[in-house]
């Protein structure tokens, strides 16, 4: 049987796995074992799954596969951050980042190849949207990082802050989170997962109805409609006011808060007046603010404010009893920091050529 006609088990949750086994004439109860092999132990070779019978293993190898993103390159930052350039089955490239000690260890995952949101200060937006990732490709990033970093049995947090807009790829993202949370697999509790979004409103409202949900981070970045229209173009469709209303109504567990991310751009949105406006906007929302001084890059028409300016902005928020943190930029030396992830497709290219063509800005 050819590769393409085999069903990819990387894409399925435990329930679907049972159905597939039953459909192939194998006992449904093996789904648990198989799921544990794939997700908890990171095994993709059916022949090595020794507690499954020989016949079943052969049947699995004939009809199924477990696809895994391939590592094209690993960059190691002096601060411990590691950036993985991964190649998907169709040659597209994505990046995933490991950030140690923040204070926990964090995996930063991509949800799309490229991004359609075109935020004015973000490099990924320059790529445009190539395609959505599948649930299997999102989970696959975790399997690869856990394997490479020897972290299968360790605790880690996950942030959906890599390439792409997770709420623009809702179904695959939520399915991936369900697979990751499964007790038979990596058992990553939703409390350890943060979904970061520009605020695609219909999807945000849908998220509010999910039985369990990840922590929420909103990429706000501006305090007036005009300013946000310019910096985060999706605001022209789903405006600031409606976004904040949705946040106000968002069901939060006790003691949980929404994180508002705010990229600081010199002389654009970094004045004390902006800070005071932000305080007023967040009034009545269980919020904390994460300030992101711009990570500069060639072709990004903004500058990073001085530390003094960042501190002054933070101080205004703190004076008004808002919890505020300044995101320490990690992995800047390997272009792994926020907004610096960008790839070019490798499709049908020779490996040498591929590397040469990766965009370095």
Looking at 17-25, 95-103, 170-178, 192-200, which segment touches ligand SAH (CB under 6 A)?
Answer: 192-200
Strand, helix or coil for residue 24: coil
Residue 196 interacts with ligand SAH (CB under 6 A): yes or no: yes
Residue number of the CB atom closest to ligand SAH? 339
- Determine the straight-line distance between the first and last CA of the chain, rounded to whole angstroms: 43
- List Cα–Cα distances, 276 to 140, 244, 259, 286, 290, in angstroms: 42, 16, 17, 17, 15
Give the contact letters, 312-341, x = binds to ligand SAH (CB under 6 A), - = no.
--------------------------xx--
Placement of tokens 């390159």 in the chain: 73
Q: Which of 115, 119, 247, 338 is catalytic?
A: 338
Strand ranges (E), the chain? 7-8, 64-65, 70-76, 82-87, 93-99, 106-108, 112-114, 129-132, 157-160, 193-197, 215-219, 258-264, 287-293, 323-326
Residue 292 interacts with ligand SAH (CB under 6 A): yes or no: yes
Smallest separation (angstroms) from ligand SAH to the CB of 311:
17
DSSP, res 167: G
Task: Indicate if 95 belongs to the active site.
Answer: yes
Q: What is the spatial distance between Cα 163 and Cα 159, in angstroms, rounded to a whole number?
A: 11
Task: Indicate if 247 belongs to the active site.
Answer: no
Angle at 236 between CA 135 and CA 339, to 5 degrees: 50
Smallest separation (angstroms) from ligand SAH to the CB of 107:
13
Residue 305 interacts with ligand SAH (CB under 6 A): yes or no: no
Nearer to ligand SAH, 134 or 197 (CB): 197
Residue 259 interacts with ligand SAH (CB under 6 A): yes or no: no
| Single residue of 165, 182, 270, 274 touching ligand SAH by CB under 6 A | 165
Q: Is the peptide bond before 153 cis (omega within 30 degrees of 0)?
A: no
Residues 111-140 that bind ligand SAH (CB under 6 A): 117, 119, 121-122
| Single residue of 198, 207, 216, 334 touching ligand SAH by CB under 6 A | 198
Residues 228-257 that bind ligand SAH (CB under 6 A): none
| Single residue of 127, 258, 294, 317 touching ligand SAH by CB under 6 A | 294
Q: Which of 11, 87, 95, 165 is catalytic?
A: 95
- Residue 353 burial by CB count (10 A; 0-12/13-18/19+): exposed, middle or buried? exposed
Nearer to ligand SAH, 106 or 196 (CB): 196
Residue 18 interacts with ligand SAH (CB under 6 A): yes or no: no
Angle at 13 between CA 9 and CA 19, to 5 degrees: 75
Tokens found for residue 333: 């030396």
Residue 219 interacts with ligand SAH (CB under 6 A): yes or no: yes
Smallest separation (angstroms) from ligand SAH to the CB of 199:
8
183: number of Cβ within 10 Å:
12
Smallest separation (angstroms) from ligand SAH to the CB of 321:
23
Backbone CA torsion sign across 219, 222, 223, 226: negative
- List Cα–Cα distances, 279 to 8, 274, 285, in angstroms: 48, 9, 10
Smallest separation (angstroms) from ligand SAH to the CB of 101:
19
- List Cα–Cα distances, 320 to 289, 316, 349, in angstroms: 12, 7, 55
Residue 260 interacts with ligand SAH (CB under 6 A): yes or no: no
Residue 227 interacts with ligand SAH (CB under 6 A): yes or no: no
Smallest separation (angstroms) from ligand SAH to the CB of 259:
10
Residue 161 interacts with ligand SAH (CB under 6 A): yes or no: yes
DSSP, res 224: S
Nearer to ligand SAH, 11 or 261 (CB): 261
Interface positions with ligand SAH (CB under 6 A): 117, 119, 121-122, 161, 165, 196-198, 219, 261, 263, 292, 294-295, 300, 338-339
Supply the residues annotated as catalytic. Answer: 95, 338
């Amino acid at each position: 049987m050819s590769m393409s006609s085999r069903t990819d088990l990387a894409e399925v949750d435990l329930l679907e796995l049972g159905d597939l086994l039953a459909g192939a004439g194998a006992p449904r109860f093996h789904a648990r074992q198989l799921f544990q092999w794939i997700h908890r132990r990171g095994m993709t070779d059916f022949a090595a799954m020794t507690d499954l019978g020989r016949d079943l293993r052969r049947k699995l190898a004939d009809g199924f596969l477990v696809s895994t993103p391939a590592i094209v390159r690993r960059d190691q930052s002096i601060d411990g951050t590691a950036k993985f350039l991964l190649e998907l089955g169709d040659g597209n490239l994505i990046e995933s980042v490991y950030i140690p000690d923040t204070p926990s260890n964090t995996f930063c995952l991509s949800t799309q190849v490229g991004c359609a949101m075109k935020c004015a200060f973000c490099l990924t937006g320059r790529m445009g949207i190539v395609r959505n990732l599948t649930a299997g490709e999102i989970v696959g990033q975790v399997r690869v990082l856990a394997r490479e970093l020897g972290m299968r049995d360790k605790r880690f947090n996950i942030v959906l802050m890599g390439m792409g807009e997770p709420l623009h790829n809702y179904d695959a993202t939520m399915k991936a989170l369900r697979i990751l949370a499964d007790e038979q697999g990596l058992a990553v509790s939703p409390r350890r997962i943060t979904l970061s979004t520009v605020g695609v409103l219909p999807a945000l409202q849908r998220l509010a109805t999910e039985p369990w949900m990840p922590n929420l981070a909103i990429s706000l970045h501006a305090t007036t409609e005009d300013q946000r229209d310019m910096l985060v173009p999706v605001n022209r469709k789903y405006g600031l006011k409606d976004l904040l209303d949705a946040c106000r109504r968002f069901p939060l567990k006790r003691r949980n808060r929404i994180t508002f991310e705010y990229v600081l751009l010199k002389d654009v949105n970094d004045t004390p007046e902006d800070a005071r406006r932000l305080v007023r906007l967040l009034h009545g929302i269980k919020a904390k603010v994460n300030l992101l001084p711009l990570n500069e890059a060639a072709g990004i028409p903004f500058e990073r404010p001085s530390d003094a300016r960042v501190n002054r902005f933070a101080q205004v928020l703190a004076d008004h009893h808002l919890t505020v943190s300044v995101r320490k930029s990690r992995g800047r030396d390997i272009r792994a920091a926020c907004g610096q992830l960008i790839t070019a497709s490798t499709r049908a290219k020779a490996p040498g050529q591929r590397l040469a063509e990766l965009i370095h800005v």
